Structure formats: C-alpha cells, structure tokens
Structure 1
Amino acid sequence: MIKNNLKTSILQCIKCNGGLIAEVDAYKCRDCGAIFPIVNDIPMFVEDTKYYGDMPSEEMEILLQRMSNEPWRDVIDEMISNKNPWLYFIMTEETRTDWQFLFSLDKNSLVLEVGAGHGTSTIAMARRAKVIAIDGTYHRLAFLKIRCEQEGVKDVSLAGMNILKNPLCNNLFDLVTLNGVLEWVGASVNERDPEKLQIQALRECHRVLKPGGKLYIGIENSHAFRYLLGAPDDHVGIPHISYLKREDANNLMKKLTGQEYRTYLYDKKGYQELLTNAGFSEEKIEFFYPVEDYKKLRYILPLNNYNISRFFHKYLDANKEELSMEQNVKELELKSLENGDIDSFVSSYIIIAEK
C-alpha cells in the first residue's frame, strides 16, 4: 500500500503559514486551526476540488472501481486503448520521460512533480529518486496510487496541491518538474492575469528548490513553424491563436467559444523573461529542442549547438516519410538553421533553469 508519508517538517499551513500537526485523517494547523483532510491516504490541500480529467468523471469512477480489483493495464487496455489512443499513449509510454536523464538523480534526490496526471513520469522518476507527486484532482491521484501499488513503486508521496498556493516549505527539492503544466496555470484560476499567475507558479517552484536545484519545463513554442502554418493550438484547438497579441487572441477565443483565452504560450525570449521575473538567473537557463516534441520524445537537441541539429536533420531524420505539414516544418527548420534562427521556431522547448 502507498501510505501517506508527508512529514509535517516540510509542510506549512496554506492559510497562515503556521505549523501543521498530523492527525489520523487530517493535517491541522496549530495556529489557525485549519483542517486539511486525508482521503484514501492522500492529503488534500486544494480548496477547489472540482473534477478535471481527460475522460468524463463517470468513466473515471468506473475505471478506478475496476482497477481496485483488476490490473490497471488490463483496465485501460479495454476502456481507453481503442477509444482514445493518444490518452493511452500518454498513460503508458515511459519514453516520454527520457528528459529525466538530463539530471543526475539518485535515491537521495527529492523531486517535486507538479501536475502528476496519470503518473507515467512519476513511475519513471521514482525508480531513480524520491518523488512527491502533486495534482489538483483527487481522481488522478487515486489512479496513480493504485498504479504505484500494482507496480511496486514505493518512493512516491501523493498530495492534492495547487502550485500557486501550496504547503511545502522552502529549499526542499533537487528538481521540480512542470511537464505540460505551465501553460494551464492561467486556466486554473478564472480571475487575475494568466501571465502573472504563471510567474507566481514559477516563483513557488523557485522557493521550494534547494540552492543549486533545477526546474524542468516541457512546453510548446507560441511561434512554432507548425502554428505559423496553421496547425491548431494544442490547448484550445484554434489555429493561429498562440502567436497573436493577447487582446486579439482573447477576442478570437471569445468569438469562437465564448470563453477567455488563458493558456498562454511564449517564444524563447518570452520564457526567459518569465523565468527571470520569477527569480531565476538568465545565465542559468538552458533551452533544448525535443523531437518530435516534449510530449512525444525521440531526441533532445541542444539549442546552443546548431551543428547537432544539422546532423539530426541531415542523417538521423533524413529518410523519414512525413505528412505534408511535417515535411513543410522540416524544410523550414533546415532553412532557419542556415539563417541561424531556429531557436525561435521549434515546435516546443525543454527548459532547464537552476536556482
């Protein structure tokens, strides 16, 4: 069984920053008396517990019920593999987490995974390090708990937390990960400017990192060639919206959906500015080009050495049969390599920032 093992020594009250006392079924603040329940051995520090997931909540309930008596892989093979192949890939393909090998981790390392989702990255990292996996949705954490138990993964602590308002103390982690998370921060809160919320989230990551600790971000590029060529935005499904001025993007989003545009993406310069505003030094920020992208990882190319990217396009990727959009992107990337500006147009980034 995966038991709750979050020690009070690394926690503080999200309401008053007071110390917490561990009780049988809750954490209690010794100063203001706030109660944070422990549900199914998962402590919940989130105030908004509404469901969020890649499938309807009713289906998720059925999935969890079946997983309590059947192997989790058998359940998703039957319920998800044919119905939603992309979700099945996200849930099962551990090569998506090969970016972890950019970091020196061992069993003494402590990792904070923000937005654990279905736990594919959690499981992979927990084979090398201790992981605290947080998510805002209880159902996802319950899924991950069963998955860890069935796979015999023990170095994982689960908690319901929002990175914007989390109970973790300062200077704890060797690595904090935001894999496909930063762009959603602005959509998790309906008020306040999305960019300011993203900076707040990054400041929280900076706060909980040890000196010398590192932040990993996997995220799309707002000015990717594929977006410029008309590929739909990965988050709202609207072509060309990611690189528009915020006011224009918001007007387009409202016209087509009736909702605000809040899943902000940036180019390389924009991400550098976000990170420096959050306290990271520009000299300690590195950018990589994940191929095909950070969600479907085959290669990781450093963006400070174009010779490696040229070698990749000329030799490693030379004979690949591609769809027209992919072929157009490849040709544009080759031209941008000649001009020395590929950094601005790659599909997505892996970003590493050191505290």
Structure 2
Amino acid sequence: MIEQIGNVKMNLTYYTGEDQYSDGDIEDELLKIVQNYKDFDDVIKNDTRWPILYHLSKYREHIIEWYPFNENSDVLEIGAGCGAITGALSRNAKSVTCVELSKRRSLINAYRHQNSENIEIFVGDFNKMKFDRQFDYITLIGVLEYAPSFSNSNKPFHEFLHYIKRLLKPNGKLFIAIENKFGLKYWAGAREDHTGEFFDSIEGYREPKGVCTFSKNELQRLLEECMLGNTEFYYPLPDYKLPFQIFSDKRKPKVGELRDLIHNYDNDRLELFNEDIVHDLLNLNDNFSFFANSFLIIASVE
C-alpha cells in the first residue's frame, strides 16, 4: 500500500498498524509544524524545548551534507526519524529510500520534504523488509546502538551489520554516527545520552537497557568482524547530533581550537573539570580520538 504526501511516497507494505518507536505527544506538535511552516528558524527561536531543536534544526544536516556524494547514487537511510538529514541526502543523490518504524514520524518526514520527487519512505521493522536492489550509500545516524532492541540474536550488532552489508553495492559505503562510550563529556559530568545516568557508559552500562555504544577500538573490531573494516573515522563536535566542527585522523584539532563544548540541551549535567584545558592536554598527547564525544565512521567492504 502506497500513501502519497505531495511528491513523497510512503510505503506501508511492512507497517503493522502500530508505531514501535515514539518520542511521545511532541510528535503531534512536530507534525503540525511541518504542515504549516517551511522554515523552522522562528519556531526554534520561540520554543526552546529539546525535541523541537533536535528534530527541526538545520544544523542536524552538518553531519552528512559535506560529503561529496555521487549525484547518480541510491541511498538507503535506516532510521530516518522525522527527516532531519533526509533533505540533505535528497539534494545530493538520485534517490533516497528511508526506513522508519513509526508512521507518525514518517508523516513528519514526508510533509517536511513533500516537494522532493526522489524520496520513498518504508514504514515498519527494517529486519523484516526485503529490497530488490543494492545501494551506493547506507546511513545509520544514531541507529546502530539500538540493534539489541529489535533482535533476539546473541550477536545483534553483527547480525544487523551483516544484513546491511548484503544491501551495499560492492563499492558502496556505510555511514555510522554514534556516541563514544568514553566521550570526554561523560567523564566531565554529562549524563549518558540514552540512559540519562551519570558515568553509565564508561562503567560498561550498569543495567542492560537494550542500548549500547562503543569505543573507537570496539567499533573498528566490530566492523572488521563483519568484513566492513575499511574505515575512515571522523569526530563531530560537540557531538554528531548538532555538529559544528568535524575533525578526522588526518586533521585533528590543535591546541586552543576546542572551546566551549559543554553544551547540553536535553539534560542537566555536572561540570567536574575544565574541558577546554583537558582537550588541550589530550591533543598534546595525541589522545583526542579516544575521548571524542562521538564518531562518524564511513565504512566499506574490505
């Protein structure tokens, strides 16, 4: 079954009639906003709630818009949510196939980009979907950490990545954005992004809650075990959600470049030490990448 929103197709073939992921009633407000506004700057300026900023900020696109996509490429966006980066993908590729568990979130995405002619949104559980083609690029922006929530496998991350690898063209690229479990902000007093607990990830997650992030070494090892070990690591700051700087192993930050990174929009936090000073010392000792707050990894088949 296809539902048309402007030029956007919503494919409901795999939709069970129940949204399996939701941020709550705020999504009804978001739907009304995207139905009535084309530009969200004034909305964000007058409504300072975190979900409004997170879902509608144009700065979300920074994580991906810089990449030189092939304009004739096909992109699979897994976990498209409310469409924060769908527009950037749509502008830079021939076609964008979105996957999202929630119909309500998919409606927000569809209305937001209803003038785009190259977007199709599949609603439902990605693990149950069948695709008849492979893709040049696949994105997992804030998605990989939730793999255990939708799998009964004792190796959910491996299973998830093996399935994704089958959907990649031989020279295709996989984009993964995820928090670093050892991010400096967690040591300095920020709450873990998913559990809301202090020091949770750096203590190995005290109580399993269906979500798990990784260190750089753990991510590299996981991708190698899934034969996706040809990787480039990038370091978005303050983090991948609202990045204003993106560094790489070829261009790491210099002393004095990292300042005022203590922004925390969604939770209260502690300030246990001066992060500016610690960043400078980490850079001097070549330890920046271990303590980066989050990663963007571009991986391909070895």
TM-score by length of 2: 0.84
The match for 1:256 is: none
Report the AA paired with residue 208 of structure 1: L
Higher relative contact order (CA 8 A, sep 6+): 2
What's the counterpart of residue 184 of structure 1?
146
Question: Is 2:187 the partner of 1:228?
Answer: yes
Three-state SS of the structure 2 residue aligned to 1:296 is coil
In the alignment, structure 1 residue 347 sits paired with structure 2 residue 289: no
| Structure 2 contact 8–119 (Cα < 8 Å) conserved | no
The answer to whether the 8 Å contact 2:262/2:275 transfers is: no
Gaps (5+ residues) in structure 2? 1-5, 264-269
- The 1:84–1:235 alpha-carbon spacing in structure 2 relative to 1, beyond 3 Å, is farther
Residue of structure 1 equivalent to 2:267: none
Among 243, 246, 255, which residue is 1:297 paired with? 243
Alignment partners' CA distance in 2, 1:240 and 1:321: 18
Letter in 1 for 2:288: I
Q: Is the 8 A contact 1:333 1:346 kept in 2?
A: no
Counterpart contact for 1:63–1:75, Cα < 8 Å: no
Say which of 94, 102, 117 aligns to 1:137.
Answer: 102
What TM-score do you get using the length of structure 1 for normalisation? 0.72
Distance 1:339 1:321 in 2: 19
Give, in whole Å, the separation in 1 of the partners of 2:272 and 2:97: 37
Q: How many residues align?
A: 289
Please tell me whether the aligned partners of residues 132 and 159 of structure 1 are also in contact (alpha carbons under 8 angstroms). yes
Counterparts of 1:244-259 in structure 2 under 5 Å?
244-245=203-204, 249-250=206-207
Structure exhibiting the larger radius of gyration computed from Cα positions: 1
In the TM superposition, what is the alpha-carbon distance from 1:181 to its structure 2 partner? 1.0
SS in 2 for 1:325: coil
Residue 134 of structure 1: how far off its partner (Å): 0.8
Match of 1:157 in 2: 120
1:116 is the counterpart of 2:80? yes
SS in 1 for 2:125: coil
Deviation per residue, 1:142-181 (Å, 9 max, x gap): 12112222xx2111111114333331245x1111111111
Does residue 274 (structure 1) correspond to residue 236 (structure 2)? The answer is no
Unmatched runs of 5 consecutive residues or more in structure 1: 5-40, 251-259
**Is 1:103 paired with 2:103?**
no
Look up the equivalent residue of 2:129 and give its one-letter code: N
**Letter in structure 1 aligned against 2:105:** R
User: What's the CA shift for 1:62?
Assistant: 6.6
Distance 1:49 1:273, change over 3 A: farther
Q: Distance in 1 between matches of 2:51 and 2:127?
A: 26
- Residue 3 of structure 2: aligned partner: none
Identity of aligned residues (%): 26
Judged with a 3 Å threshold, the aligned counterparts in structure 2 of structure 1 residues 321 and 203 are, in CA distance, closer, same or farther, namely: closer
Displacement of 1:244 in angstroms is 2.0
RMSD: 2.9
